[in-house]
Chain A
Amino acid sequence: MSSAQYKLLRCTINGKKVEKMIDVRASLTDLLRDDFRLTSVKKGCEVGECGACNVIVDGECFNSCIYLAVWAEGKEILTLEGLAGPNGEISDIQQAFIDEAAVQCGFCTPGFIMSATEMLQSGKEYSDEEIRKLMSGHLCRCTGYENIFRAVKKTMLRRLGKEAEADAV
């Protein structure tokens, strides 16, 4: 090991302010998994191709495997573990993944839900092609993306009050 270099990191993780001495060589994946045991952050390729390690940093999605932990300084990080409400109630998009059978092995699921969360936060109505594009930073080998598409589109429409359209997806 080369001589270790450490730095005090201050950031907010899932709504909680944290301070941690970190190895500057750490990726954000390392930080979240190893230091905070947030194991929804998955490792599938470690080069930003699969999207399994995706988290939200200051409102935008990033593959945490190719994001240095030191860059999290002063930022707000949201992982899947942070999506539930104060009493553990799950979000509508998580429920939609359950209802639409959009979960199979579950390994890509956390990353997908975080991208869907970013997309849904915009409050916009997207076309099918736009939804596909916004979700395209994730690879899945189980679902063929079909039920993930349904879950995301239905949740988008329901948030816009379009229940009937959502049911027809």
Chain B
Amino acid sequence: MYVGKKVTRVDAYDKVIGRTRYTDDLCDKSAYIARILHSTVANGRVVSIDVSEAEKIPGVVKVFTCFDVKEKHYFPTAGHPWSTDESHQDVADRLVLTERVRFYGDDIAAVVAEDEVSAAQALRAIKVEYEEYPFVLDVMESMKDGAPQIHEEYPNNILKHTTIQKGNYEEAIKEPGLIKVEGWYSTPTVQHCHIENFICYAEMEGDRIKVVTSTQIPHIVRRVVGQALGVDWGKIRVIKPYIGGGFGNKQDVLYEPLCAWLSMQLGGHLVKLDVPREETFVSTRVRHAIKSHIISWVRPDGTFAARKLEAFSDQGAYASHGHSIVAKGAGAFPQLYPCENVEVDAYTIFTNKSVAGAMRGYGIPQAMWAVECHTEEVAARLGMDPIEFRRKNLMPVGYTDPFSKNELYTDTFNQCIEKGMEEIDYKRKYAEYQNQTGDIRRGIGMAVFWYNTAVWPISLETSSCRMVLNQDGSLQVQLGETEIGQGADTAYTQMTADVLGVPLEYVHVVSCQDTDVTPFGTGAYASRQTYTAGFAIRQTAMLLKERILEYAHELTRMPAYNLDIIDGKIVRVTDGRELMTLGELSTEALYSLNHSLHLSAESTSQIKSNAYSFGCTFAEVEVDIPMCQVKLLDIVNVHDAGTIINPALAEAQVHGGMSMGIGFGLSEKLMYDEKTGRALNNNLLDYKLSTFMDHPRLRAYFVENPEPTSAFGTKALGEPPTCSIAPAIRNAVYQATGVGVNDAPVNPHNLFRQMKEEGMI
């Protein structure tokens, strides 16, 4: 069996010798180079664009402006499964180029040139005249009456407002003796910073359009390019090669429609659009900054009487993934610490800033920041140990969410917490770090999270798989669920080998998706792939095995029920005799003069279940008070993601998520100029992504409670590692100093401000 083993990544060898081809490596050098001209006002309308000087530059093929977009096909960009129910469809508010600009960085024109130098020169030579409108950068300001209107159809710039009501909050707070704990918590705008920027190229093949793109979601890109161009979806062919990271940014349709449109305007000529880092920061997608207001009414015994959350999510200029993000976070609130009386108000609000979309964790890192900072404060107010307080109130075993039908089957929270406490030596350190004085102080803190797996029942969950047997008994496996660096192809290889009964090396997962060839699947997001693809793989492998054994019956005259495939051989189970190899069978099947058969299988699994994934973070810090600096000394993540398919890759993936969480907690923040709306630090020098020297050793542990609804016992792990890191660090700083920073990140600027206010420096 391979599931559960530390199998080497199937793509590692090519990646360490430099043979792996990414989008740019595949693009023919005959490609025209496209560059985008972005708006330099935060809100307004393009009045005119003068391209005359730009088009005179040798090497410039043509400049296209928003006024050249004659057919206005508004399209949605979120990488969600399409809904045939109109009321459930994503907001279609984008055009390939727009004259109505809504953020500094909006797309108003595109240059196509023979080379990158002329393209850059042309961008500088274009003259734009705008009609400028007032703009708004802050969500709270944006909701006010009289704020600049960003989209006509959304009064007060509210894209959506949803509520959750449980019990009766207003009545419940009248209970005598309650302690009220209230706070505001905010998370900043951050960016994915995949090391490969967004890039795609397009050309026509006959009357069809081919787009090769660095995406997580090729089949969704096909649909959206079709919608954006007003072309039948079957005329679009999308190819996804290896990609240099995505983290949710590439779970949006970014510039594939524009690139395809440019190629179409140029008779189908090959056009490459390689988005520079600075533009990737501003004009692709960012994480929603969320401001949260939490009020808890607590009894002196440490139980909640009533709770309230208001969350205000900064959507930026266009709807993209929209309200889904804050809704996911808000949905977590009543479940993590259940309480009889809960009120939740979640708002998604447009501002004149970069568009917020999906990013690893999808609203949960923001929600866990607010909830777990707040939980720490509640425990402190009650004088209770923060872990004991959590244990008392966390989702109990047997808890079932009526909507998703997710259930907490085992005592996983306590198991994870105990493992984390033991690994970091929590009790001893917590006691040792109480009541310190001096300039340098240490602290230890923790936070918990839960996370859904996949998107059912909010959206469709489906996965299709094809397996095709070769002459030698090896097989190709194809899925629409993509390898984006996380190791999906290796997990699929292990699963297939186990179900079919073949050695690992027999399984060739086709890494590249081509929507003309690859079975339908919606791609990498929502930590769904090992869970959802698992169903399709098991079902398809079982189907293929049945067909192989039927054919083995023809060849051996043994009944199929007495046959099995073990280690790539047809075995008679009654006595264990190896009757033939799978290769012998497959060769015979293909070339048989009696009954030629290409053995293959293809099937779709629609998944109508979901699963809670759980875990926690423990962090130990040293705070240099005069320097306003936090040094992370130790960090431990513990996850229950069910059965771990590949412990080495699972651990590696947790490390990456932890790193992103460390940046979120300590250093990352994309800033905007109040006067212009321009991004200030949209480059890798000024945007403080953690470096090799900013981390301690990262420690990842697993508690494995197999998920009963799952095809392989597995559930979400891709996003969960990012969810509880930031509040755990913040809580450690709180223990060290008594300073509770409620506005992430806990960077020197914020620490200085707060310690100064509290008279510590």
- Report A's interface with B, CB cutoff 8 A: 1-2, 25, 34, 38-40, 42-47, 49-50, 52, 79-81, 83-84, 90, 94-95, 97-99, 101-110, 113, 129, 132-133, 135-136, 138-149
In the complex, what residues of A have CB within 8 A of residue B197's CB? 43-44
Contact across chains for B12 and A98 when beta carbons are under 8 A apart: yes
Contact across chains for A45 and B684 when beta carbons are under 8 A apart: yes
Q: Chain B contact residues: over half helix, strand or loop, or mixed?
A: loop
Among B15, B24, B652, which residue has its beta carbon within 8 angstroms of that of A109?
B15
Q: How far is the CA of A15 from the CA of B274 in the complex (A)?
A: 31
Q: How far is the CB of A9 from chain B (nearest CB, A)?
A: 19
Tell me the B421-456 residues at the A interface (CB within 8 Å): none
In the complex, what residues of A have CB within 8 A of residue B24's CB? 39, 43
In the complex, what residues of A have CB within 8 A of residue B691's CB? 136, 139
Known contacts A98-B16, A104-B652, A107-B245, A136 near B9 by CB under 8 Å: no
In the complex, what residues of B have CB within 8 A of residue A135's CB? 692
Judge whether B146 is part of the interface by a CB distance below 8 angstroms.
no
Q: How far is the CA of A104 from the CA of B652 in the complex (A)?
A: 8
Judge whether B244 is part of the interface by a CB distance below 8 angstroms.
yes
Judge whether B631 is part of the interface by a CB distance below 8 angstroms.
no
Judge whether B458 is part of the interface by a CB distance below 8 angstroms.
no
How many of B's residues come within 8 Å of A, CB to CB?
Answer: 64
Among B6, B12, B685, which residue has its beta carbon within 8 angstroms of that of A103?
B12
Contact across chains for A107 and B16 when beta carbons are under 8 A apart: no
Known contacts A49-B685, A105-B244, A107-B245, A143 near B655 by CB under 8 Å: yes
Smallest CB gap from B277: residue in A: A45
Contact across chains for B195 and A149 when beta carbons are under 8 A apart: no
Known contacts A106-B485, A132-B692, A144-B698, A40 near B18 by CB under 8 Å: yes
Q: How far is the CB of B651 from chain A (nearest CB, A)?
A: 7
In the complex, what residues of B have CB within 8 A of residue A146's CB? 652, 655, 659, 695, 697-698
Q: How far is the CA of A13 from the CA of B243 in the complex (A)?
A: 27
In the complex, what residues of B have CB within 8 A of residue A148's CB? 692
Q: How far is the CA of A25 from the CA of B195 in the complex (A)?
A: 25
Smallest CB gap from B646: residue in A: A101
Known contacts A84-B17, A104-B485, A105-B196, A141 near B245 by CB under 8 Å: yes
Smallest CB gap from A107: residue in B: B244
Judge whether B638 is part of the interface by a CB distance below 8 angstroms.
no
Q: How far is the CA of A103 from the CA of B57 in the complex (A)?
A: 43
Contact across chains for A141 and B652 when beta carbons are under 8 A apart: no
Q: How far is the CB of A152 from chain B (nearest CB, A)?
A: 10
Among A2, A44, A103, A149, which residue has its beta carbon within 8 angstroms of that of B15?
A103
Contact across chains for B192 and A141 when beta carbons are under 8 A apart: yes
Give the 7 A-B CB pairs with smallest separation, nearest first: A40-B18, A105-B485, A107-B244, A144-B659, A106-B15, A144-B655, A49-B684
Contact across chains for A142 and B683 when beta carbons are under 8 A apart: no
Contact across chains for B692 and A101 when beta carbons are under 8 A apart: no
In the complex, what residues of A have CB within 8 A of residue B276's CB? 46
Q: How far is the CA of A26 from the CA of B89 in the complex (A)?
A: 47
Q: How far is the CA of A83 from the CA of B652 in the complex (A)?
A: 25
Q: How far is the CB of B241 from chain A (nearest CB, A)?
A: 12
Known contacts A39-B21, A97-B12, A105-B485, A52 near B659 by CB under 8 Å: no
Judge whether B11 is part of the interface by a CB distance below 8 angstroms.
yes
Judge whether B25 is part of the interface by a CB distance below 8 angstroms.
yes
Contact across chains for B693 and A50 when beta carbons are under 8 A apart: no
Contact across chains for A113 and B16 when beta carbons are under 8 A apart: yes
In the complex, what residues of B have CB within 8 A of residue A90's CB? 13, 16-17
In the complex, what residues of B have CB within 8 A of residue A104's CB? 245, 485-487, 652-653, 656
Known contacts A1-B118, A98-B12, A139 near B193 by CB under 8 Å: yes
In the complex, what residues of B have CB within 8 A of residue A138's CB? 692
Q: How far is the CA of A94 from the CA of B659 in the complex (A)?
A: 23
Tell me the B218-276 residues at the A interface (CB within 8 Å): 242-245, 247, 274, 276
Q: How far is the CB of B527 from chain A (nearest CB, A)?
A: 15
Contact across chains for B486 and A34 when beta carbons are under 8 A apart: no
Judge whether B704 is part of the interface by a CB distance below 8 angstroms.
no
Contact across chains for B194 and A101 when beta carbons are under 8 A apart: no
Q: How far is the CA of A80 from the CA of B15 in the complex (A)?
A: 10
Known contacts A98-B9, A146-B695, A147-B655, A81 near B660 by CB under 8 Å: no
CB 8 Å contact bits of B299-343 with A (1 = contact, 0 = none)? 000000000000000000000000000000000000000000000
Judge whether B22 is part of the interface by a CB distance below 8 angstroms.
yes
In the complex, what residues of A have CB within 8 A of residue B117's CB? 1-2, 25
Contact across chains for B652 and A143 when beta carbons are under 8 A apart: yes
Q: How far is the CB of A21 from chain B (nearest CB, A)?
A: 16
Judge whether B59 is part of the interface by a CB distance below 8 angstroms.
yes
Contact across chains for A42 and B118 when beta carbons are under 8 A apart: no
Tell me the B1-36 residues at the A interface (CB within 8 Å): 6, 8-9, 11-13, 15-18, 20-22, 24-25, 29
Contact across chains for B485 and A142 when beta carbons are under 8 A apart: yes
Judge whether B484 is part of the interface by a CB distance below 8 angstroms.
yes
In the complex, what residues of A have CB within 8 A of residue B115's CB? 1
In the complex, what residues of B have CB within 8 A of residue A2's CB? 117
Contact across chains for B692 and A105 when beta carbons are under 8 A apart: no
Smallest CB gap from A88: residue in B: B17
Known contacts A45-B684, A46-B276, A104-B485, A144 near B18 by CB under 8 Å: no
Judge whether B658 is part of the interface by a CB distance below 8 angstroms.
yes
Contact across chains for A42 and B659 when beta carbons are under 8 A apart: no
Known contacts A105-B194, A105-B485, A34 near B29 by CB under 8 Å: yes
Most buried by B among A42, A84, A142: A142
Q: How far is the CA of A39 from the CA of B697 in the complex (A)?
A: 31
In the complex, what residues of A have CB within 8 A of residue B58's CB? 1
Q: How far is the CA of A95 from the CA of B243 in the complex (A)?
A: 22
16 additional A-B pairs beyond A39-B18, A40-B17, A144-B657, beta carbons within 8 Å, are A1-B58, A25-B117, A42-B22, A44-B196, A80-B17, A101-B649, A104-B487, A106-B20, A107-B22, A109-B15, A133-B692, A141-B247, A142-B485, A144-B658, A144-B690, A144-B695
Q: How far is the CB of A142 from chain B (nearest CB, A)?
A: 5
In the complex, what residues of A have CB within 8 A of residue B656's CB? 104, 141-144
Judge whether B140 is part of the interface by a CB distance below 8 angstroms.
no
14 CB < 8 A contacts A-B = A1-B114, A45-B277, A46-B277, A47-B277, A47-B684, A47-B685, A94-B17, A107-B245, A109-B16, A132-B692, A138-B692, A139-B193, A144-B690, A146-B695
In the complex, what residues of B have CB within 8 A of residue A49's CB? 277, 683-685
Q: How far is the CA of A129 from the CA of B651 in the complex (A)?
A: 22
In the complex, what residues of B have CB within 8 A of residue A103's CB? 9, 11-12, 15-16
Q: How far is the CB of A42 from chain B (nearest CB, A)?
A: 7
Q: How far is the CB of B491 from chain A (nearest CB, A)?
A: 13
In the complex, what residues of B have CB within 8 A of residue A44's CB? 195-197, 244, 277
Q: How far is the CA of A123 from the CA of B11 in the complex (A)?
A: 30
CB 8 Å contact bits of B652-677 with A (1 = contact, 0 = none)? 11011111101000000000000000
Contact across chains for B25 and A39 when beta carbons are under 8 A apart: yes
Judge whether B111 is part of the interface by a CB distance below 8 angstroms.
no
Q: How far is the CA of A107 from the CA of B193 in the complex (A)?
A: 12
Smallest CB gap from A144: residue in B: B659
Most buried by B among A108, A143, A144: A144
Q: How far is the CB of A155 from chain B (nearest CB, A)?
A: 12
Smallest CB gap from B700: residue in A: A146
Judge whether B61 is part of the interface by a CB distance below 8 angstroms.
no
Smallest CB gap from B689: residue in A: A139
In the complex, what residues of A have CB within 8 A of residue B8's CB? 98-99
Judge whether B648 is part of the interface by a CB distance below 8 angstroms.
yes
Smallest CB gap from A129: residue in B: B693
Q: How far is the CA of A39 from the CA of B351 in the complex (A)?
A: 40
In the complex, what residues of A have CB within 8 A of residue B659's CB? 140-141, 143-146
In the complex, what residues of B have CB within 8 A of residue A140's CB? 195, 659
Q: How far is the CA of A1 from the CA of B115 in the complex (A)?
A: 8
Contact across chains for A94 and B693 when beta carbons are under 8 A apart: no
In the complex, what residues of B have CB within 8 A of residue A106's CB? 11, 15, 20, 242, 244, 485
Q: How far is the CB of A35 from chain B (nearest CB, A)?
A: 10
